[in-house]
Amino acid sequence: MKKIFKTLLIVTAFLTIGTVQAFATNISGVNPVSQYIAGSNENAKDHAYIEKSKAIRAEIDILNTQIKGLREYNESVSNKLKTLNEKYKTDKSIISNDTMRKIKELRKSIKTVDRPEKTITEDDSIKSLVQNKEYDKALAKLNETLENKKSELKTLQERNAIWRQIDALIR
């Protein structure tokens, strides 16, 4: 008796679910089961984008930290040089003329290195692409930002090498 009751209950449940699905399909024109499956596919795309973008953003953060350090060092040496120049105007004996000439040559060579363009992250456009579920375009924008950051870092490293030579001469 219990076995028959359980079987009857299971059959009733399946019939009820089938009727509800058929009813919902007839009203909306979309099968809720296929809609759920499509939704889970979208969730998979969301998850894949999030994972890929996390890796790219982490690399951008590392580059930003390196860029910030280089900029701060270059600025500090530049400030030392300005102070030295002010003192040199009044007292030429604080540093040799030969050393000052070398510093000026190095300073000119800094200007020959391409000036790094500050990378503008287009967070608003990336956010709108993500909101519109255009994940491939959003990842392309993130990768473009990453490449720009790498280029900026390379240029700053070249300039930094010259600033280090100037710093060595100032000391």
- Within-domain flag for 89: yes
Give the phi and the psi of residue 119 in degrees, each rounded to 5.
-75, 130
Per residue in 81-98, pLDDT tens? Answer: 999 999 988 998 888 989
**Which carries the bigger pLDDT value, residue 54 or residue 21?**
54
- Within-domain flag for 19: no
Residue 147: closest CA among 117, 167, 110, 107: 117
- Within-domain flag for 30: no
- Within-domain flag for 160: yes
Alpha-carbon distance of 75 to 98, in angstroms, equals 24
Two structure tokens written together for 5 = 């009751």
- Within-domain flag for 80: yes
- Within-domain flag for 5: no
Q: CA of 118: how far to CAs of 78, 156, 167, in Å? A: 19, 11, 24
- Within-domain flag for 161: yes
Task: Write out the residue range of the structural domain in which residue 53 sits.
Answer: 46-170
- Within-domain flag for 69: yes
Looking at the structure of the chain, the number of domains it has is: 1
Per residue in 91-148, pLDDT tens? Answer: 988 889 899 999 999 999 988 887 666 555 556 788 888 888 889 999 999 999 999 9
